[in-house]
Amino acid sequence: MGLFAMTKRALANVIAKPATLMYPVKPAKQFERSRGMLTITIEDCIYCGLCSRHCPAEAIVVSKEDRTWQVDRLRCIICAQCVDICPKSCLSIVPEYKKSVAKPPFVDLYQGPPAPPKPEKKAQEE
């Protein structure tokens, strides 16, 4: 042993393939459960704001008037607390990472479709 305890492993490592991946030539490892990025199906959103209220990092801003949902990618810690809390299950975590950007905006804004004409219907009924 003594001096040469490491020799066997060092020789094995010389012959073996590298442990690292040639990223970005080869894609990074991903698993089905990997938490890469938070996404929303904006069509299903009811703008209740529960995700925003429960976000530990205060990364989400929801506006009911403008029908927008926005997430600050630099604040989001991808903890999936919003995914658990969403009553319409329209939030999800996907394994793909958000591509890095060099310039602002770092906030991703999702504009929802215009509100269905419910108030008009009520007016007609009345």
Partner 1 sequence: MAGRQIVVPFGPQHPVLPEPIHLDLVLEDETVIEAVPSIGYIHRGLEKLVEKREYTDYIRIAERICGICSFTHSVTYAEAVEKTMGLEVPPRAHYIRTILMEYSRLHSHMLWLGLAADAMGFENLFMNSWRIREEILDDMEMATGGRVIQNLCTVGGIRKDVPDEMLGQMSDHLKEITPRMEELCKIFSHDSSVRHRMRGIGVLSKEEMWELGAVGPTARGSDLALDARCTGYSAYGELGFKPVVEKEGDCLARCIVRAKELMAAADLVHAAVRDMPDGPVDVGKIKGGPDGEAFVFTEQPRGEVLHYVKGNGTKHLVRHRVRTPTIANIPPLVKMLAGAELADVPIIVLTIDPCIGCMER
The string of DSSP letters for 13-80 reads HHHSPPSS--TTTSPPP--TT---EEEE-GGG-----HHHHH-TT--EEEETTTTEEEEETTT-----
Residue type, 25: V
Query: Per CB under 8 A, which region of 40-48, 52-60, 63-71, 96-104 contacts partner 1?
Result: 52-60
Our finding on whether 5 is near partner 1 (CB under 8 A) is yes
Our finding on whether 92 is near partner 1 (CB under 8 A) is no
Our finding on whether 23 is near partner 1 (CB under 8 A) is no
Enumerate binding residues for partner 1 (CB under 8 A): 1-3, 5-6, 8-10, 13, 19, 29, 31, 33-35, 54-56, 77, 79-81, 84, 93
